[in-house]
Amino acid sequence: MYLLVAVHVMANLVWIGSIGCVGWLLSASSGSNSPAEAATLARASLAIYRRVANPAFMVSFLFGVGRVALNPGYYMTAHWFHGKLTFALVVIALHHVVGAKSKRAASGEVQGGGRGGILAAGLLVSAFLTVVFAIYKTALVP
């Protein structure tokens, strides 16, 4: 059981760090004055998204679902879990939005990388709130 949590947390570290980098690279590519540099940054963002962020997301998701599947009754009645799950779903949605922007930017679309930094910041704030709910679960139990 603890192994599921350990792998889930480790995958989260890699996932959130790498998707944050993807957003940062997108922001840098859209702000670049050099078309060659912008293209290189956009391709790098897509490579990190495909080779690091997506696999880490899948591992995190599968091990998180596995953990919940071991005791669904507990998690579905735990008040802290509802907050954690809400913000985790926001992180997942933003992950896919950042990934789509990365794909568009790497394909050469002019506006493909715009707002990558803002999306990554929102993702990081949502990830932080997910962690807050997980850590303070005993304080959040009525």
pLDDT tens sequence across 84-138? 999 999 999 999 999 999 999 999 876 655 678 888 999 999 999 999 998 887 7
Token pair in block for residue 31: 């702000």
- Which is more confident, 48 or 112? 48
Mean pLDDT of the chain: 91
Neighbouring CB atoms inside 10 A of 57's CB total: 23
How high is the pLDDT of residue 112? 56
Q: Give whole-number Cα distances, 106 to 38, 96, 100, 126, in Å.
A: 9, 15, 10, 26
Query: Angle 2-30/116-135 helices, nearest 10 degrees?
Result: 160
